[in-house]
Structure 1
């Protein structure tokens, strides 16, 4: 009986020791660690979170290239230099530790859109998400496929200009899916996979290039049947589209 009681006491001591040692480790894990993207970013990554990565690195003086949402060699070396300076393994991969360090180092960073080339990861009406970028590329592909590249950028810019106009919905999906707003939605071309040119046009528009000069409407004069659209003040014609206010 004494032997069994001794074994029980010993077992309980080991269990208590295990709990005492292990509990603080669990408390150190923070599932809500701050970061600006849910995925790891590597050379070749693209999207809105790469825009923000480049903007934050530029804010700290590590990145000196164009903020274009494309993780190329300049971004790679900027990440490595940041990692080296902050005591992180300099592998050029934006993993959780790098994201957390960068987020904390640029806590007050806010990106804005301007026509002088700064990025648009936040618009006056909210954040531009990766899903927004893909939807914009689908719209450009459906509306302006075959147009000159500058015309495709102008279409993307026109959609973005509507975000800043109180007459239109406050989100990219709301603008694009507004009833009767875009032919590509009506005829189903919005569901075609966008090509790389459409995606690049969206990135250039997000980066501040607006060949439409502030237009919020455009139409093809060869196919437009609405008298109302002809009444809008015209700005310019690019390819087959007339852009207007």
Structure 2
């Protein structure tokens, strides 16, 4: 624990008095970060980040959903239904209705700072979680049948704030906006690569997007991990068939 490490370092610097000071400082740090894993918040964090509570995560998720829904200047009922169905399947009717009332308030009345929200999440969630969060937001944008240019631009902006890399963004986008070389985009490779490079890229992406990488309680993020992993497998199978790979 941090408090004992602090005491150890303090002892060598200032002797017994330093050990007491180090123990005290370490105890304070433990109370804010180290013990968070025992209070249930660490499902959204790794050992180097402060924890975020499920309630805080949900509130920030609501805000990001509202940003995506309003990205093209209109509030689509199908996109609202997509979010509502997520809440219903995740929390049940009673809690979902309460959450959705808050969501309606965010949609209709509040202006939220995308940069502020994403900065908060960057500090408190692992990169794998942010990838699946972006996947979920793309799902909202596609709920009305298509992802508009305004929505793509907004999602690209959010990805930047979430510090999601360009290739990862293009890979996720390819799962929702189809094109001739989608399978290659999903695996983050060019069509000119060798078969061995295709296999290497598949192994890398399968490892990156394996659901076990996302250790958290939020069902939307869990489902996003599973869906994304399936898309990676499908992309590899498509390329295998196209090239006649064994």
TM-score (norm. length: structure 2) = 0.25
- Structure number with higher strand proportion: 1
- Larger radius of gyration, structure 1 or 2? 1
- Structure number with higher helix proportion: 2
TM-score (norm. length: structure 1) = 0.26
